[in-house]
Amino acid sequence: MKIKETNLAGVLIIEPTVFGDDRGFFYESFNEQKFEQLTGLRPRFVQDNHSKSSAHVLRGMHYQIKQAQGKLVRVISGEVFDVAVDLRKNSPTFGQWTGTYLSAQNKLQMWIPEGFAHGFVVTSDSAEFLYKTTDFWAPEYERCLMWNDPSVNIDWPLTGANGASFGPIMSAKDLVGKALADAEVFE
């Protein structure tokens, strides 16, 4: 397992060690001991989630203002562009974002600690997305940051395989996310 830091302190890209041959492959998607050795962190995961989305679906930018969730995310089918936005008010990178492609092919994972909004857009025909969380879903504390807030300026890959631009497919809830200036953030 290799760990790569991003431009946002705490957000990590994880590359597992994959053993493969003509029969297929094997890898540990999570090993608490190795994760702690490489990151100094020992998250307690309490919930696993699995979603499937069609091409061009954008989910996010989600966070819980209380019962904040750390998330370990990965894709087991297809590809997404995965994004985290720093919502820690006193952080030197407050309001900044990082993103990377996660896919079944590259097997990369992203660790997003508490204090960040999270979202992704599907860049393949469909994608299955798995994530572990450090706290339970609490709809009363769920918040949504506007996916296209110009002050955050996420560079979403909104171009299809044919080179044509597309508007993302979103839930009604995600379409009414708040601008960073109006959003509840972490102290």
CA gap 13, 184 in Å, rounded: 26
Distance CA 37, CA 46 (A): 21
First to last CA, the chain: 32
Catalytic residue among 101, 118, 131, 141: 131
Q: Are 157 and 120 in contact (CB under 8 A)?
A: no
Return the ∠ at Cα 53 (arms to 47 and 59), rounded to 5°: 70
Q: Strand (E) positions, the chain?
A: 2-5, 12-15, 19-21, 24-26, 47-54, 58-64, 71-77, 79-86, 97-103, 109-112, 116-122, 126-133, 142-144
Does the active-site annotation cover 101?
Answer: no
**Active-site pick, 62, 63, 118, 141:** 62
Q: Which amino acid is at 97?
A: W
Reply yes or no on whether 27 is catalytic. Answer: no
Please list the active-site residues: 62, 131
